[in-house]
Structure 1
Amino acid sequence: MEGRERRRSMSSSSSGRRTPELERERWAPWSPAPTWSRPLSVGGGGSRAASLKSLFRTIGLWFSSLSTSSSSSSSAAATSASGSNAKRRSRREPNDLIKKPPLPGPGSDQGKASMRGLYNSSRGRGIATQFQSSVFSMEEILRATNNFSPALKVGQGGFGAVYRGVLPDGTLVAVKRAKLRDQNPHVDVEFRSEVKAMARIEHQSLVRFYGYLECGQERVIVVEFVPNGTLREHLDRCNGRFLDMGARLEIAIDVAHAVTYLHMYADHPIIHRDIKSSNVLLTPSLRAKVGDFGFARLGVGEAGAADGVTHVTTQVKGTAGYLDPEYLKTCQLTDRSDVYSFGVLLLEIASGRRPIEARREMRERLTARWAMRKLAEGAAADVLDPHLPRTPATARAAEMVMELAFRCLAPVRQERPSMGECCRALWAVRKTYRDMVVAAAGDETPLSSISDRASSSSAGTGGDRSGELWRN
């Protein structure tokens, strides 16, 4: 036995390898022998696997102890005790690679998120990029929303309920709590789509993203709280002050800026797929912010476009009345599908009607078809929201907006303008409206004196291009 040990030590020294005993002698003057430096047991496969688990646990404990200023013997003893406890736990627990945390209840300390907020995605040239965002604990969410108090509930949508919350620094936030899987089997896909999209973007006309929680069956998204309700609520005159034509044009321009940013200036083109009036939130100063990215999808990037890829084939998602009919028929998604939805939104802004008016007579149920017929008949003023004043400036602006909307609603996507062209067209509408308001100050011109200009192309890509696309 002694001869065997002598040969082993000679072979190890001759090969230049350092044995654990030599390492301990080398480090002994500097620090007490840490737990991770002890030799592993040479038992069966099961005990060796348990020892490996214990090794990696104690390595983490040892490195964390180096960052503290205390190096007393009590800390070394605590490390050793933790290592032995870890060994005992490794014998009791099954060898699972992933353990889902239990659903935490109010007041529990098990509400830590099960993921650290890294969603990998590929950019236009195939380079993997990580997007990291704030991850909230369940305790923080419950504290912010007062245990999801019904008094703080501000809305309910397809994704789930929305609550008003307050972060520890006093920031007002909207806390979106997703439905459970048995209520919405696609909740995980929508949750990850929204987090993945919102982590990439930052623009003044988009709702700001603060973070999320994914723990057990809980899926929570924390975003900026926009206190003045939705555009649809304002058009229905049930929230806030009435929107005149000038305010409506500014809202349309804000939405156009936001969608243009998603299509052209984000890290990777993003197609929203759910542009509608109830997803446009208004600030107290009536600035618009686009939210709800549950249906968002990455579009064709630079690499795909260089290879001749023109669309993304995907399952149809969206809201009835706003869906691009070509996308509905072919399942081929492009940024022009958002343009179609934006055209429907423009008709909402001009007329105040919803895309589908189920309570109206058959000829007026589809707002887009009804408005198109009125414009062709030269009766564009009949489409105007009846609550808007019948002034020449308002009528002309509504007519120009409808002309742009019908270009966006072209049945073939190649005939639709881009969102950048929509921005420039709306700048021209705003300039015309302001000029007519200034010119008509003190001059009461009857509405009937305005000539029919349904065939004009003032809302095209030409005209005034003043203004900044990303204005403050």
Structure 2
Amino acid sequence: MTSPYIPRRRAGSDHSSTPGRVPPSPGYASSELSTSTVTARQNPVAAAARFFTGMFAACLSPPELDNSKSIGDSEEFKSSSTASNGSRAGSRRGRGSNGSMSLSSYNIVQKKEPGIVKFTMEEIYQVTRNFSHSFKVGQGGFGAVYKAKLLDGSVVAVKRAKKSLYEKHLGVEFQSEIQTLSRVEHLNLVKFYGYLEQGDERIIVVEYVPNGTLREHLDCIHGSVLDLSARLEIAIDVSHAITYLHMYIDHPIIHRDIKSSNILLTEHFRAKVADFGFARQAPDSDSGMTHVSTQVKGTAGYLDPEYLKTYQLTEKSDVYSFGVLLVELVTGRRPIEPKFELKERITAKWAMKRFIDEDAISVLDPRLDQTAANTLALQKILELALQCLAPRRQNRPTMKRCAEILWAIRKDFREVLSASNFHSYSSTSQRSTSLRE
């Protein structure tokens, strides 16, 4: 079996088949991961190999690189994380109690499978106190989210699917999410603990991320403004996560719903990508295919226009969404702003026009200072965003290349910041000496 930590080789031309055209609907149609993915995941040899590889893989922040250095061998993309600051999976921050109950470790151990824990309904009732409102911390498209604590001290988010919508589309999304989460483990992805599927109950248990979503912070819901340095680090974290999904697992995955409300932040503002309900297995390069023919699914404002037009899904669709996210990070605006005048309503289009017209500074989030370091980073981030937002997928960079460029931007940003701070310190010191004399 191919090692899950060796990047696959990709074919150079598109598959010639064209799917049947079905007009996309606001709710979008669902698709599911292939059964071969599940079979591969249950192979005990492969599971053992992934476990021991993950044990020794590093998950520290990558070193600074210049523009020419490759990160293809960086363990940041390949590694799993065995420790985390906790996670959350809701779309809004709640005001629930911090109280929690513990699960029976005996039952969990008895039901453990490779990469999966099958919880019982009794355990879920225990840990959430029968889904107490005081434990509820969010409400998303999947359903309600509750905060709880396991016996080993792990703080988790218990995601309970909406029952009324289950038969329509959530069943496929549920299967997609548990199949994806059970195959992946990375510092910048939410950690998967297990699931429950019993009767009309569909529950997913993941780590709890305590600091809300990126979108909440861009909206200043938590009372403070994210500086550009923090936003750049978040972009790098997300690029690591997506690169890992695209290149460093045996059956690469297209997330298909990269957006600010699906990016959760720890107390230290490390980003974790969440919500894999729309995830789809990438095309099998060994067969010569370079896209998956599927009905459109995703979030308005982030959707790849070529995917919308052709129904052909590739990893470059995630790259397009990432480009929208980059614009969102530097402007602070949502991808679609209905309250703005027509020419500013689509944020990425508006920002790219300003950038091409050499007026990039006008799109900078007004809550950020127009310093030399910020201006430099803004220009370079928008330049990368322009590449990611190319109308044709072959003109977009890979996620690996996006990460390399962002590393170089961070390096230049820090150098300019250090120089500015040194200049400011020197000027202050000279004024102090002059006053003493």
Question: TM-score higher than 0.5 here?
Answer: yes
| 2:118 corresponding residue in structure 1 | 135
Choose from 198, 204, 212 the match for 2:187. 204
> Which residue in the other structure is 2:240 paired with?
257
What residue in structure 2 maps to residue 320 of structure 1? Answer: 300
Instruction: Give the distance between the partners of 1:390 and 1:441, measured in 2 at CA.
Output: 15
Structure with higher RCO (Cα < 8 A, 6+ apart): 2
Q: How do 1:357-372 residues align onto structure 2 when only pairs under 5 Å count? A: 357-372=337-352
How far is the alpha carbon of 1:397 from its aligned partner?
0.2
Relative to structure 1, the CA distance from residue 372 to residue 221 in structure 2 (aligned partners, 3 Å threshold; closer, same or farther) is same
1:215 is aligned with what amino acid?
Q
Out of 144, 148, 153, which is 2:131 matched to? 148
Match status 1:435 vs 2:391: no
Of residues 286, 295, 298, the one that matches 2:278 is: 295
RMSD in angstroms over aligned alpha carbons?
Answer: 1.9
Is 1:122 equivalent to 2:102 in the alignment? no
Deviation, structure 1 residue 180: 1.1
Computing the radius of gyration from Cα coordinates, the structure with the larger value is 1
Structure 1 contact 121–129 (Cα < 8 Å) conserved = no
- Aligned residue in 2 for 1:192: 175
Q: Which SS does the other structure have where 1:155 is aligned? A: strand
Q: CA deviation at 1:376?
A: 1.5
Measure the CA separation in 1 of the matches of 2:148 and 2:343. 45
Alpha-carbon distance between aligned partners in 2 of 1:196 and 1:341, rounded to the nearest angstrom: 22
Tell me the amino acid that sits aligned with residue 381 of structure 1: I
Contact preservation (8 Å) 1:138, 1:213: yes
Q: Alignment partner of 1:320: what SS?
A: coil
Shift of 1:198: 0.4
8 Å Cα contact 1:120-1:128 kept in structure 2: no
Whole-Å separation in 1 of the counterparts to 2:264 and 2:307: 26
Q: How does 1:34-113 map to 2 (within 5 A)?
A: none
SS at structure 2 position matched to 1:186: helix
**Structure 2 residue aligned with 1:417, among 379, 390, 397?**
397
1:330 is displaced (CA, Å) by: 1.1
Equivalent residues of 2:115, 2:183 under 8 A apart: no
CA deviation vs aligned residue, 1:260-304 (integer Å, no higher than 9, x gap): 00000012100000000000000001100000000001112xxx3
**Amino acid corresponding to residue 423 of structure 1 in structure 2:** A
Gaps of 5+ in 1: 1-118, 445-472
Query: Counterpart of 1:398?
Result: 378
Aligned to 1:275: 258
SS in 1 for 2:168: coil
Instruction: State the Cα distance separating 1:443 from its structure 2 match.
Output: 3.5
2: CA distance, partners of 1:142 / 1:267: 36
User: How many residues are aligned here?
Assistant: 323
Amino acid at match of 1:424: E
SS in 1 for 2:330: helix
Aligned-partner Cα distance in 1 for 2:167–2:218: 30
Post-superposition offset of 1:183: 6.1
Match of 2:209 among 226, 239, 252: 226
Q: Is residue 349 from structure 1 mapped to residue 329 from structure 2 by the alignment?
A: yes
Query: Does the 8 A contact of 2:41 with 2:183 survive in 1?
Result: no
Q: In 2 relative to 1, CA 132–207 (structure 1 residues): closer, same or farther, beyond 3 Å? A: closer
8 Å CA contact 1:181, 1:217 repeated in 2: no
The alpha-carbon deviation at position 120 of structure 1 amounts to: 8.4
C-alpha deviation, 1:145, in angstroms: 1.1
Structure 2, unmatched stretches of 5+, are: 1-32, 44-113, 425-437
Q: Aligned equivalents of 1:187 and 1:291: distance in 2? A: 16
- After superposition, the C-alpha distances for 1:82-108 in whole angstroms (9 at most, x for unaligned) are xxxxxxxxxxxxxxxxxxxxxxxxxxx
Q: Does 1:174 align with 2:157?
A: yes
CA distance in 2, matches of 1:267, 1:223: 22
Q: Look up the equivalent residue of 1:212 and give its one-letter code.
A: Y
Identity %: 59
CA shift digits 1:174-229 (9 cap, x unpaired): 00000114466111100000000000000000000000000000000000000000
State which drifts further: 174-183 or 227-236. Answer: 174-183
Closer, same or farther in 2 for the Cα pair 1:123/1:222, shift >3 Å? Answer: closer
TM-score (norm 1): 0.66
Contact 1:355/1:366 (<8 A) preserved: yes
Shift in alpha-carbon separation, 1:355–1:127, aligned structure 2, 3 A: closer
Aligned to 2:387, the other structure's residue is in SS state helix
Q: What are the Cα deviations for residues 422-470 of structure 1, in whole angstroms up to 9, with x where unaligned? A: 00000011011000001111546xxxxxxxxxxxxxxxxxxxxxxxxxx
Letter in structure 2 aligned against 1:402: L
1:338 to 1:182, Cα distance in 2 relative to 1, 3 A: closer
Structure 1 residues 127 and 279: CA distance shift in structure 2, 3 A: closer
> Does the CA contact (< 8 Å) of 2:34 and 2:281 recur in 1?
no
